[in-house]
Amino acid sequence: MQGKLYAIGTGPGASDLITVRAARLLDKLDVLYAPAGRKGGRSLALSIVQEYLGEAVQIKERHFPMTADATQKQQAWDAVAADIEQDVKQGKQVGFITLGDSMLFSTWVFLLERLSDKIDIDVIPGITSFSAIASQAQFPLCMEKQSLAVMSCTADADALRAALNSHECVVLMKVYGRFTQIRQLLEELDLLDHAILMANASMGSEICYPDLRLIESGEDLPYFSTILVNRTWALN
């Protein structure tokens, strides 16, 4: 049998929010690569898909360093890509799991850059965190001719301000550690009544903040915190 790599989005966190296609593939894999943010740490993506794994699958957890050191990150990606390529060329059915959707703010894309012209690849989409938040909070994203921007809060303030001024709906990801500045910007643009923050969407530890004013300054928000803004939809 010819080997193949499946990049599988696990969805936002709840195990029943992965796709049927993903569940079926997970049951048939020979090898599964699972990323972990901390060396020796637990892979959240692996915990999401655990119940769908076949009995014979070989699990390979790999550490992807959360660091600004570009060289260290490049070395980690190179090493994992080489391991995956070897497994696929041995005729194995190989999976790589990633939180949310495989093609949105995902470490997987750095592996795709290294492997796209070397092995056969199939990318399985996953539900994004902001889709889960919108559904859970009944907070619409786009209607009719409205536009949507997805922004990382690591962008500079001018870029974030431009997005908030240009689009009816904006998703602000990577809020962790930057909430105070983001809230100040939303207040400046008179958008606090049109914004919602949710952390750990669809997980057992999910927290929803429908009023960003009530979050204490300096409060340690969970790492997976996202803000949705819709200037045409007021919550408060």
Q: What is the pLDDT of residues 45-80, one digit of tens each?
A: 999 999 999 999 999 999 887 777 788 889 999 999
Q: Give the C-alpha separation, 192 to 213, whole Å.
A: 8
Contact 164, 191 (CB under 8 A): yes
Same domain for 12 and 118, yes or no, is: yes
76 and 158 within one domain: no
**CB-CB contact of 49 with 74 (8 Å):** no
Domains: count for the chain:
2
**Confidence class for position 148, pLDDT limits 50, 70, 90:** very high
| Residues 10 and 107 both lie in one domain | yes
203 and 137, same structural domain? yes
Residues 6+ positions from 47 with CB-CB distance below 8 Å: none
Q: What is the pLDDT of residue 71?
A: 87
Q: What is the CATH number of the domain that holds 107?
A: 3.40.1010.10
Residue 87 domain-assigned? yes
Poorest-pLDDT segment among 17-21, 34-38, 199-203: 34-38
| Prediction pTM value | 0.92
pLDDT exceeds cutoff 70 at 40: no
Note whether 170 and 113 are same-domain residues: no
pLDDT at 109: 95
> Do 160 and 80 lie in a common domain?
no
CA torsion 90→61→57→114, rounded to 10°? -30
Query: Rounded distance, CA 199 to CA 223, Å?
Result: 8
The string of pLDDT tens digits covering residues 205-236 is 999 999 999 998 878 899 999 999 999 998 76
* Spatial distance between the Cα atoms of 10 and 18, rounded to a whole number of angstroms: 5
Residue-by-residue DSSP string for 2-14: --EEEEEE-BSS-
Using pLDDT thresholds of 50, 70 and 90, give the confidence band for residue 37: low
**Mean pLDDT of all residues in 154-166:** 97
Query: In this structure, are 93 and 192 located in the same domain?
Result: no
Query: Average pLDDT of the chain?
Result: 94
| Mean local confidence (pLDDT), 133-148 | 95
The verdict on residue 158 lying in a domain is yes
pLDDT higher than 70, residue 39: no
CA distance 129 to 106: 12
For the stretch 106-137, pLDDT in tens is 989 999 999 999 999 999 999 999 999 999 99
pLDDT at 38: 64
pLDDT at 1 over 80: no
Confidence band for 169, pLDDT divided at 50, 70 and 90: very high
Domain limit, last residue, from 124, 157, 183 = 124
Indicate whether 236 belongs to any domain.
Answer: no
Give the integer Cα–Cα distance in Å for 149 and 217: 26
